[in-house]
Structure formats: structure tokens, C-alpha cells
Amino acid sequence: AETKVTAATRSLFNMAPQPDFATLDIAVELMTRVEKEIESYIREKEPELQELPNIQRSRDLEKADLTMLWAPVCAKRKMNPAKFTAELADFINEKLSANADGLLVSKVAGVGPYLNVFLNRGETFRLTVRAVLKLGAKFGHVDQNAGKKVVIEHTSANPNAPLHIGNLRNVMIGAHLANIMKAVGYDVKQHYYVNDLGAQIGLTALAYSKVYHKQKPLMKVDHWIGTMYAIMNTLSELQKNKVDFGALADSVDKGDEAAKAFEAAAVEAAE
């Protein structure tokens, strides 16, 4: 459905005009904008720096939202990284306090070789809402796996066995996994193997053709077909072991003792 944005909503989230997004990945967009916000302050403090460390997501969100590792830079310049990040944090925080309106960064902190970055929750929320409203159904999609192909085979219910809730579970898991992988850039193909060839289907088709006009199903049709396959598979195994079907039928007609004796002899012969 098309997203409708009222004037009140645009005013609430400062959406006039909406910003352009360089990427569909809002997390990357946030990090890029944060990097631009603090880069000018860093270069003002350290004008001789050639390249800045990459900004990364923090592993512990209680300690920071984003972080920059300065150890390699300090090693090349033979500087104490903890002292460097502490002084840099003081400088950036002073600049931020003088120009805090509309910034994504609320403060920074030097912790060992890391410059930890804390985001302005209100601005982060506004930018995220803008992204949701602007990107619509594409929100959350990324192209980091573009060009990679994946085949997901799911469902593929056994035609020689009863259908059950597990078959539906496999449909849900497979289809949702395919949609998730499409959303992160994969070229996804979904396959369902019908399993309509081979010895199993041959035995089932033969049994079905023999009883179709003689016997109505005594149970659900999928159970009925499964039962016919089970019987035919048993007969096939008996045939492989050279069991005399006529003698088997005679032993069954004579009663339990004769049938058990025939079974014991057949097992001994097979071994």
C-alpha cells in the first residue's frame, strides 16, 4: 500500500524537503553522515592526517553507538593512543556543544585507542522515520550480495507419504528465507522437487493402477497412496529375497503358527 504522509507528519519529522539517501541501508547512511559531521572537527584538530579510521558499529551499545579505532594511526605517529583519543574527544565535544542543533552526534569519548561516538536519539529517530517513509517497501533492503546466486529448495513433500504440518513448516521457512535473501541482494531461485520419477513412484503407480477400479480408498487419499507404496515396497523386497508369494499366501491361510514358521524360514534364508 502507498504510504500517505500528512502535513502534520512532515512537520513532526522535519520532512520538508525529504533528504536523499545514498544507500538503501539506513545503518550505513547513519554512519556516513556521522563520519561527515565529525570529520571537519578531526581535521581541524589534526590537519596533517591523511586518512581517518573507518567508523564502525560498537560491539557493546551500552558503551557507545559507533566507534573509531585510532591505534594504527597513533602507532605510525608514535603517540600514546589513550592520550590522543582523550584530547581529541575533548576538542570534538567542545565543538559539538557550540553547534548541537540538528546533529546526529551528541558526544564522543576517548576510551583507550577508541573514539566512541554517541548518537542523538531524537535526530536518529527522525532520520530513520524519513527513510521508512521515503523508501517504503524497499526499507531494510541492501545490495551487499548483488551478483551472488542462491538456490533454495523447500517444501518438496514426499508424494508417497501422508502430508503433515511439517510440510507447511517447510513452506514457511523456505519462502521466508528466500525473501530475506532477496532483500540483502541475492539472486534467489526457489525450487520444489516434485519427486515424480524413480522406483518409488513406479511402485506406487503400479499399485494404484491395480486397485483403482476394484477398491475405493478406505482412508484419506494421501494415506491411501502411502499405504499402497508401503505394500508394494514390501512385496518388492520379498521378491528380491526370492520369497515364494504362493507359499506365503498359503502359510497365512493356515494360521499364525504357519505364518510365523514361514517368516522364520524366510529370514534365515535372507541371512
Reported as a single tens digit per residue, the pLDDT across 64-117 is: 999 999 999 999 989 999 999 999 999 999 998 887 677 889 999 999 999 999
Q: What is the tens place of the pLDDT at every residue in 232-248? A: 888 888 888 888 888 88
Alpha helix locations (H) across 16-164?
26-45, 71-77, 81-98, 121-135
Instruction: Report pLDDT for 109.
Output: 95
Q: What is the tens place of the pLDDT at every residue in 138-190? A: 887 888 888 999 999 988 877 767 778 888 899 999 999 999 999 989 999 99
Read off φ and ψ for residue 109, nearest 5 degrees.
Answer: -145, 135
Query: Of the candidates 103, 32, 115, which has an alpha carbon nearest to the alpha carbon of residue 68?
Result: 115
Q: CA 125, 130, 131, 133 torsion: positive or negative? A: positive
| Mode of pairing for the β-strands spanning 114-119 and 105-111 | antiparallel
- Band (pLDDT 50/70/90 cuts) for residue 195 is low
- Band (pLDDT 50/70/90 cuts) for residue 16 is very low
**Block residue for cell numbers 497412496:** 225
d(CA 203, CA 144): 48
Instruction: Report pLDDT for 152.
Output: 93
Answering whether pTM is above 0.85, one says: no
Q: Are 89 and 108 in contact (CB under 8 A)?
A: yes
- Band (pLDDT 50/70/90 cuts) for residue 13 is very low
d(CA 52, CA 106): 20
Count of C-beta atoms within a 10 Å radius of residue 233:
16
Instruction: Report pLDDT for 15.
Output: 45
Instruction: Report pLDDT for 226.
Output: 84
Look over the chain and give the mean of its residue pLDDT values, rounded to a whole number.
84
